Structure 1
Amino acid sequence: MSTTTPPLALPLSVIPADIRSAQDYAALAPHFMAPSHLAYISGGSGYGLSVAANVTAFEQWAIYPRLLRDVSHGHTRIRLAGDDYAHPFFLAPVAFHKLAHAGGEVETARAAQAIDTCMIASTQSACSLEDTAAAAGPQRWFQPYLLPQRAHTLDLLRRAEAAGYRAIVLTVDAPIQVANRRALAARFQLPSDVSAVNLRGYDTMPRFAGNGDGESRFFQGAMRGAPSWDDIRWVMSQTTLPVWVKGVLHPDDAVALRDAGVAGIAVSNHGGRSLDGAPSGLDVLPAIRAAVGADLPLMYDGGIQSGSDAFKALALGANAVAVGRLQLYALSVAGALGVAHMLKLLREELEICMAMAGCATISEINRGALLPQARRRD
């Protein structure tokens, strides 16, 4: 299959009439995205166990309806790490938006600005971090990886500061890239006109020493360049921006990061694209919240497809949630208009859940709003 196979349909300039929920964009995306591109975006590492876990984790919780509650003063506003946001939905850092739409991250940023949403721009973007920032609203964060040479990581940080990003979201959970079997089966290759433009001119290939005599290409190879606690401290010392750490799943790691002084933590299994078989972030979120206490901001990232999903993550300890693949599905269908509409639907779906559960504000959502139930087995 050619990697340049055109989508079955061009992005629309109007919202399709059959879009009635945010999740409907996922069902329509195959009609607008090249099959190999869809396989790369929707797939995860290995057999996709963690991708599936991100979705099914929400099934173990039901939401209690509450009666006779006055929610006429209700709203979705939050205050996070000293800043005010109209709602708790963020756009998670996702690579190569041009696989979904020719406008790439700039098109997504336009939607974020239109709907008052904070976009977390990925290092592995097909549009530069500067162009993305120019199109985004004032609430914009940047997600860097640690590069082999600290001078190049520092240059990324300085560029992000100059472009007006408000926070750094350092991703530390993917030192080894495990094959995406769905993408391999679809013979995905990155198109020649799509690349990680933010990394041009940087050394991105770690140099591993060793004589190869009995050495592992993972233990003595890939993991030799993995992020360290010294790297975390170094990044925090090199920028005045708040530093969040993304990819946390164990309570002990969360406590250590809190004690190191990070601004917040993103509880995430990297969208199921790191260790296949890792738990869903939702499954570990309550334990992480209990471990770090009430004050450290937590963002949940993984499998958010509806307002009720967001409600459950907030009830289990998150202060905000980040939407990943769904933004690219909406982008493929209707560009910036689609992403903005998807975010509007998510917010309205959350408002419905809050109103029916008797929660007028985000701060009123807590564990008592949920009832555990057996996870469905198909």
Structure 2
Amino acid sequence: MAQSIDAPDDPAAASRGISRRTQSDIYRAGISGTRPRVPVDADALEAAARKALSAEAFAYIAGGAGAERTVAANRAAFARWQVWPRPLRDVSSRDLSIDFLGVRRPTPLVLAPLGVIEMAHADADLAVARAAASLGVPYTLSNQASVPMEEVRDAAPAGSRMFQLYWSSSDELNASLLRRAEASGCEAVVVTLDTHLLGWRTRDLDLAYLPFTRAMGIAQYSSDPVFQQLVRERVRASAASAAEAVDAAPPVRLTPKAVAAGVRIARKGAALTGSPSVRENLRSPLPRAAVETFLDVFSTPALTWDDLAKARQWTSLPLILKGIVHPDDAIRALDAGADGIWISNHGGRQIDQSVPTLDVLPTIAERIAGRVPIVFDSGVRQGSDAVIALALGATAVALGRPYAYGLGVAGEAGVAEVVRNVLAELDITLGLAGLTSIAELDRHALREA
């Protein structure tokens, strides 16, 4: 039996009637000329984020692989389904709660892991964690976060969190990250399987911009004792080897952007050098060595199903495997002892012309047959999308880019408004379909277009 989640201000109760309150609050504020902090329409929200963010930040968050046909296909897949309205049913009271990982959650939403969100706002993961906690929505903290997981815990101690692991080439580092995740109160580990090679991301390539080379998005690493030791070992390497590494790399021209990147790396070097001084860190080899070490160990293309057993030795937390798209892999995940699967094509960021996730959700759900929970993402932009995914077999639905756009436009309040709007539309759609709970959602609520 699932236990009830115990959070301040009772977010479970707050989720009931969320659509009525959301619309009422917006319209009442409009009387005095106040409009929402972020656009409610999904396309307008993206357009506002494009204006608010730097070209590099928007490209990194919004972009996909190749010609971005997978991004388009993820969205097009939702257009192939229609919600079937059923009137004259008493839907005056609606329940959005679900059971997920042994806990009764107030809503079926989770926030997907997004890395390097300091590109969107200086408060980064802290703002997202606080916003998610205020609505009782679990936040999947990225392995590529801008803030160490312990600081996120302290910023939102009542919040529900999972930790995403990018399987590093260093098992010692993997084990250390999972120990920290467990110690910092994460409820599960989400092992991302589909980024053992970095996708061909054309927007980033056109800008020649990868944030990790600027020491962004590596806070989980630079705060980790095993990673710090790897960096020190790198610095202690022979001068000859270091010279060869420098000689092998393309020369870097001393431009204002190069200087700014160097200063940024130096600022982020405090965790490694123990000094907050940018001047001292500019002189230290540790911050730059941290970037190079990260690029070396970030992932491994040699990862196989057999390796996953190691994670059971590193943590007692439930393991959710993220990046499942093929039904056979879903069954293989069960055979490997996964506690949940996460259907995802990384929001279209890894393979151009990949299979849309919504197209395979019904088949995977049928084969899984409720044995483990299914989290679904890729293409979700609004509440009606979540209704469709839940009706086709998802246990929970993960929201990604929209909350990053909200963060970029209006910080923590922007994230909260985006999530609130998705939940409000989900609630309204559920009621207009003649249903009163998420448990009632199934294929009968939909019609194929």
1:281 aligned to which of 342, 348, 357:
357
Q: Aligned partners of 1:111, 1:70: CA distance in 2, in Å? A: 32
Deviation at 1:70, TM superposition (A): 1.4
Q: Of residues 92, 98, 101 in structure 1, which corresponds to 2:118? A: 98
Q: What's the Cα RMSD here?
A: 2.0
User: Alpha carbons of 1:17 and 1:324: their partners in 2 closer, same or farther (altered >3 Å)?
Assistant: closer
Q: Which residue, 126, 132, 140 being the options, matches 2:152?
A: 132
Contact 1:22 1:343 in 2 (8 A): no
TM-score by length of 2: 0.73
What letter corresponds to residue 96 of structure 1 in structure 2? V
Q: Kindly tell me the number of residue pairs found equivalent between the two proteins.
A: 343
Matched, 1:194 2:216: yes
Question: Match of 1:134, as an amino acid?
Answer: D
Partner residue, 1:350 = 426
Change over 3 Å in CA distance of 1:189–1:258 after alignment to 2:
closer
CA deviation vs aligned residue, 1:325-351 (integer Å, no higher than 9, x gap): 111100001101010111111111001
Cα separation, partners in 2 of 1:322 and 1:18, compared to 1, 3 Å: closer
Structure 1 unpaired stretches of 5+: 1-13, 205-221, 374-378
2:50 is matched with which residue?
30
Question: What is the Cα deviation at residue 33 of structure 1?
Answer: 0.4
Does the aligned pair in 2 maintain the 1:37–1:188 contact within 8 Å? no
1:234 corresponding residue in structure 2: 310
1:294 corresponds to 2:373? no
Q: How does 1:185-264 map to 2 (within 5 A)?
A: 185-190=206-211, 192=214, 194-200=216-222, 202=227, 225-264=301-340
Distance 1:69 1:295 in 2: 32
2:443 partner letter: R
| 2:364 alignment partner, SS class | helix
Equivalent residue for 2:442, pick from 366, 372, 375: 366
Partner of 1:4: none
Which residue of 2 is the match for residue 167 of structure 1? Answer: 188
Question: Displacement, 1:196?
Answer: 1.0
Contact 1:15 1:334 in 2 (8 A): no
Q: Per-residue deviation at 1:15?
A: 6.3
1:156 to 174, 177, 193: 177
2:259 counterpart of 1:183:
no
Distance in 1, matches of 2:299 and 2:395, equals: 32
SS at match of 2:166: coil
In structure 2, the gaps of 5 or more residues are 1-33, 232-297
The correspondence for 2:163, drawn from 139, 142, 162, is 142
In 1, the alpha carbon distance for the partners of 2:365 and 2:38 equals: 38
CA distance in 2, matches of 1:177, 1:370: 36
- The answer to whether the 8 A contact 2:38-2:45 is kept is no
Counting aligned pairs with the same residue, the percent is: 37
> Greater CA radius of gyration, 1 or 2?
2
> What is the alpha-carbon distance in structure 2 between the residues aligned to residue 16 and residue 192 of structure 1?
34
* Greater percentage in helix: 2
Match of 1:52 among 59, 66, 72: 72
- CA shift for structure 1 position 227: 2.1
Aligned to 2:343: 267
- Counterpart of 1:42? 62
Partner secondary structure for residue 144 of structure 1 = strand
User: Are residues 1:309 and 2:385 paired?
Assistant: yes
The amino acid of 2:431's aligned partner reads A
Paired residue for 1:65? 85
